[in-house]
Amino acid sequence: MSYCKIFFVIIAILVIEGLNTKLCFGKAAGEYAPAMDMGVAFFTGTSGKSMTGALAEYFNFRAEDRKGFFRPQAAMEILTAVGKASIGTDTPSASLYNASFIVGVHLFPFTAVRFAPFVGGSGVVGWGYLKMGSPPAGVEANTQSIVYGYELTAGVDLRTGSLDGAAIRIKSGLYVTSGKLGGVSSFMLQGFRISLGMIW
């Protein structure tokens, strides 16, 4: 089993256990806050099998526990990118369209503060569509695949109201996924990202 799969399984277990713990203590589903993020991602990867030198824009909507140190969260995300696909020795221009489901946890070491830093980890599974302008010989111009991997994040919530209410969120992270795209069995979609969002 690959490290990506192991990480995704661990995150899923942690989230399920966190939800079970909160249900056992009688916490209601209304304590999960809606949040939205918009950001940009900068793709990097191994030469010959990755989306590289690309700039992406993404948007996600998530639900996250409002309180505590351990906060399970789940999100749906849409991403589009334009840049180069590195396949073998070729680097054709390419566009990427990606939709993902993200499940994980955010850890808040300081909860009763208006400037609340956090770190987190999530498993990612989704669908990717790669469109190349001039693909290498023998490779289809348009390919699609299930992609999976993980995301590691760090950020801060700037509370605008109560300590468990609305906040402006600034977040950065490392995003690592792969799938069978561009004729490559483990085509890498990874890079660094930064976003600005709101929690209600």
pLDDT band at 30 (very low <50, low <70, confident <90, very high): low
Q: What angle do CA 196, 83, 49 make, to 5 degrees?
A: 105
Read off the pLDDT of residues 151-176 as tens digits, 9 standing for 90 and up.
999 999 998 877 777 899 999 999 99
Q: Look at residue 27 and tell me whether its pLDDT is greater than 50.
A: no
Residue 74 located in a structural domain: no
How many domains are there within the chain?
A: 1
Residue 6 located in a structural domain: no
Residue 102: Cβ within 10 Å count? 21
Residue 171 located in a structural domain: yes
pLDDT band at 198 (very low <50, low <70, confident <90, very high): very high
Residue 3 located in a structural domain: no
- Alpha-carbon torsion angle 95, 172, 148, 146, nearest 10: -30
Residue 32 or residue 95, greater confidence = 95
The strand pairing partners of 177, in sequence order, are: 149, 189
Give the CATH number, domain containing residue 124.
2.40.160
Mean of the pLDDT values across residues 135-143? 93
**Under DSSP, is residue 129 helix (H, G, I), strand (E, B) or coil?**
strand
Domain extent for 158: 33-58+79-141+151-199
Residue 8 located in a structural domain: no
Read off the pLDDT of residues 51-102 as tens digits, 9 standing for 90 and up.
988 899 999 999 999 888 999 999 999 999 999 999 999 999 999 999 999 9
The answer for residues whose C-beta is within 8 angstroms of residue 175's C-beta and 6 or more apart is: 41, 124, 149, 151, 189, 190, 191, 192, 193
